[in-house]
Structure 1
Amino acid sequence: MNSKLTMILRILLGLILVIFGANKFLGFMPAMEMPAPAGNLMSAMMASGYMLKLVGATEVVVGLLLLIKKWVPFALVVLAPISVNIIFFHLFLAPAGIAPAAVVTLLNIVLIYDNWSKLKILF
């Protein structure tokens, strides 16, 4: 794949993860109104005291790794289950927000494909 395109996609995904991950700590974006099942799950994650922060911290770390181009294959593997969870959350509980979830998942898949030579040993 074109290295400039890969760099742009990697930086875009990194920025998305850092911004949305940091928002889980700082709350600088307004909270979206969610239907009951999605709202209940998010409330439970916030009430746990750690779960939302753990997800946010993981997103920030993975995003920073992508931005500084350090351990990119590792970052993409760590992000894979998170992106699957994001897409399933929106698919089943909050379909209105499926577009950004699909963008994150698609970027993750494209970058995994681009780094497949380094990752195929895992499979």
Structure 2
Amino acid sequence: MKKKFSLILRIVLGIIFVLCGIMGILNVFFEFAPAAQYTNPIANQFITGMTNTKYLPILINFINLVVGISLLVNRFVPLALILSTPFSVNIVLFHLFLDIQTIPPALVIAVINTYLLFVYIDQYKSLLRAKSS
């Protein structure tokens, strides 16, 4: 049962990252959709500043796409989860400090990511082992 649940969560997270990555890349190059408007003007300034750099959205969305594909095809999953963790944390922090009304989807992503990190904890043991001198 735990394996099926982990599989479902891995696929759900993979789909989320793939869709966000594709939509984000399309938006950078083709202005596919208007930028999200938040109730907090500081949040809008933050997003506008990041978007105007051009390189940051390309980098973020490319990594999201690679992570999503990796999760969907079940290759390099522990690495994909490590790469996605900073995004999950920053999404939650953005919503926590700048737009609390829309935090539920961010929490869902962070909880799934954290759960999957613990599912693959054995893969990280060599990284977490302290070296003795």
TM over 0.5: yes
Q: Under a length normalisation based on structure 1, what TM-score does the superposition of the two structures give? A: 0.93
Moved segments of 4+, more than 6 Å: none
* Alpha-carbon separation, structure 2, partners of 1:29 and 1:66: 26
* 5+ long unaligned stretches in structure 1: none
Q: How does 1:46-57 map to 2 (within 5 A)?
A: 46-57=51-62
Cα pair distance change 1:117/1:22, threshold 3 Å: same
Q: Which amino acid aligns with 1:25?
A: I
Please identify the structure whose Cα radius of gyration is greater.
2
1:2 aligns with 2:8: no
Q: Deviations over 1:84-106 (max 9, x none)?
A: 11110111111122111101100
* 5+ long unaligned stretches in structure 2: 129-133
Aligned residues: 123
* Alpha-carbon separation, structure 2, partners of 1:105 and 1:29: 25
What's the CA shift for 1:31?
3.8
Q: Under a length normalisation based on structure 2, what TM-score does the superposition of the two structures give? A: 0.86
RMSD: 1.4
Q: Which amino acid aligns with 1:2?
A: K
1:72 aligns with 2:86: no
